[in-house]
Amino acid sequence: MAKLTRRSFAALALAAGMAGGAANAADVEVRMYFPVAVGGPVTKIIDDYAAAFEKENPGIKIKPIYAGDYQQTVAKVLTAVKGGDTPETAILLAADLFLLTDEDVVTPIEDFVKTPEDKAWLATFYPAFLENAKIGGKTYAIPFQRSTPVLYWNKDAFKAAGLDPNKGPANWAEMRDMAKKLTKKDGSGAVSQWGIQIPSDGNTAWLFTGITTGNGARLTNADGNKVSFDDPKVIEAVQAWYDLSKVDGTQPSGLISWGATPRDFIEGKAAMIWHTTGNLTNIKSNAKFDFGVGFLPGMKQNGAPTGGGNFYVFKGVPQAKQEAAFKFIKWMTTPERAADWSVKTGYVATSPNAYDTPAMKAYTDGFPQAIVARDQLKYAVSELTTHENQRVTKVFNDSLQAAMTGARPADAALKDAQREAERILKDFK
């Protein structure tokens, strides 16, 4: 027995010695939770960034933790925080802003912004991306993997329908007209090519925010405690969307699948689609026809939602670690990195400077469609972001789906959604 104990002790000491040898005691470890939301070897890109950063910044170790999709990642982070195992930083949905501040787990970025250089850096991001990063003048998040939807059109189909293949629809009315010309039926009367597809399953609210913004409506206030789902302009927007199917017959009826729509476009079954810019590379490499990319056509003006994830810095970890995390975030969002990340993944680069880098210029010269998303950003607004965001968004999605499937009239569905959302938000006034 005594022998055994002594041996275990020796083993322990050895293990401790080895651990000491591997990591420098002075190293600051920054743990970053990271959601994998796009296909492709994203984790490898992030690992490479982390290694490059560590090389330039001895003394800081970056430990990325790949935690699944956004939903799982935020659950994991909140669990870790409650268990006293708070990470230094994480990339989480921009729309989780109020969830994280209500849980009181994140800290304003301004705490670390000290030099004029830092201040200049904070001012470089597109304002559309900062919209749901700020509360009361404080910035709680730094844009990183961000996206926005655009309209894709099939140039061959345009030609066949006698339309100018180089000009997409400039507004909603034009899109309606074009869609009518682009909808083709076969001998039996079945539609063989739809004019337009705006996906409506899953998170219906995201693309819908593009329609409401284009109709001059705002869905939420900046404090995230008030929604205007029953605004006449919002009801009008749902009606217009529904009419594409019901009145014009240029869009399939019922909910349109987000996942299948890119394939529908590639197969030539849909002549125009709304989808994320993240699809550019996919469509480019799979479509057998030339295609155009344009702004979302608005009913009154241009407008689009933003989506995707931001960096957050967490409370309750030593300041030295927070500072290290901040340093890493700054490094990750430099124009060069932002350009590289955008080219490799299809996300929109988060600051105008990124588009001036040689790497980005070379990319957009060869592929001008990639620039459209950037230009649309000046019309973009944040996606639906409120307190109890998941709940409020689901209420809204349900009502939109009821309206889009024709189960309920738009105004009745949205009025109910408004009442329900107000009930959920009453504690946050």
Partner 1 sequence: MSALGRGRGAALAGEALETAAAWLLGVLWLLPLLFAIWTAFHPSAYVAHFSPFAPLTLQNFVAAWNAAPFARYFLNTTMLVTGVLAAQFVLCTLAAFAFARFEFRGRDTLFMLILVQLMVAPDILLLENYLTIKAIGLVDTVPAIALPYLASAFGIFLLRQTFKAIPKDFEEAARVEGCSTLGVLWRVYIPLGKPVYLAYGLVLVSFHWNNFVWPLIITNSVETRPLTVGLSIFASPDQGIDWAIICAATLMTSGPLLVAFLLFQRQFVQSFLRTGIR
Partner 2 sequence: MTGIRNTVHAWLLVLPACVLLATFTHIPIVTTFIQSLYSTAKPRRPARFVGLENYEAMLADPIFWKSLWNNLIYAGVSVPISVALAIVMALFVNGKLRGRGFLRLAYFTPTVLPMIAVANIWLFFYNPQYGLVDQFLKPFGISGVNWLGSQDTALWCLIVVAIWKEAGFFMIFYLAALQQISPDLREAASIEGAGRWTFFWRVTFPLLMPTTLFVLVNAVINAFRLVDHIFVMTAGGPDNATSVLLFQIYIVGFKFFDQAYAATLTIVLLALLALLAIGQFLLADKRVHYQ
- Binding residues for partner 1, per CB under 8 A? 36-41, 43, 65-69, 72-73, 75-76, 79, 83, 147, 258-263, 267, 275-276, 278-279, 282, 286, 288, 346
**Residue 255 interaction partner, one of partner 1, partner 2, none, beta carbon < 5-8 Å per kind:** partner 2
**Residue span binding partner 2 (CB under 8 A) among the ranges 52-60, 134-142, 254-262, 303-311:** 254-262
**Residue 59 interaction partner, one of partner 2, partner 1, none, beta carbon < 5-8 Å per kind:** none
Note whether 315 binds partner 2 by CB under 8 A: no
88 vs 420, beta carbon nearer partner 1: 88
288 vs 426, beta carbon nearer partner 1: 288
Query: Helices 42-56 & 335-345, crossing angle to 10 degrees?
Result: 160
236 vs 264, beta carbon nearer partner 2: 264
Minimal distance in Å, beta carbon 44 to partner 2? 24
68 vs 409, beta carbon nearer partner 1: 68
**Residue span binding partner 2 (CB under 8 A) among the ranges 251-259, 276-284, 312-320, 343-351:** 251-259
262 vs 298, beta carbon nearer partner 1: 262
Minimal distance in Å, beta carbon 121 to partner 1? 27
3-state SS string over the chain?
CHHHHHHHHHHHHHHHHHHHHHCCCCCEEEEEEECCCCCCCHHHHHHHHHHHHHHHCCCEEEEEEECCCHHHHHHHHHHHHHCCCCCCEEEEEHHHHHHHHHCCCECCHHHCCCCHHHHHHHCCCCHHHHHHHEECCEECCEEEEEECEEEEEEHHHHHHCCCCCCCCCCEHHHHHHHHHHHCEECCCCCEEEEEEECCCCCCHHHHHHHHHHHCCCCCECCCCCCECCCCHHHHHHHHHHHHHHHCCCCCCCCCCCCCCHHHHHHCCCEEEEEEEHHHHHHHHHHCCCCEEEECCCECCCCCEEEEEEEEEEECCCCHHHHHHHHHHHHHHCCHHHHHHHHHHHCCECCCHHHHHCHHHHHHHHHCCCHHHHHHHHHHEEECCCCCCHHHHHHHHHHHHHHHHCCCCCHHHHHHHHHHHHHHHHHHHC
Minimal distance in Å, beta carbon 216 to partner 1? 28
Site map (CB under 8 A) of partner 2, residues 48-87, x = contact? -----------------------x---x--x---------
Minimal distance in Å, beta carbon 278 to partner 1? 5
**Residue 188 interaction partner, one of partner 1, partner 2, none, beta carbon < 5-8 Å per kind:** partner 2
Note whether 401 binds partner 2 by CB under 8 A: yes
Note whether 259 binds partner 2 by CB under 8 A: yes
Note whether 187 binds partner 2 by CB under 8 A: no
Residues near partner 2 (CB under 8 A) are 71, 75, 78, 102-104, 188, 190-191, 194, 200-202, 252-257, 259-260, 264, 267, 269, 388, 390-391, 394, 397-399, 401-402, 404-405, 407
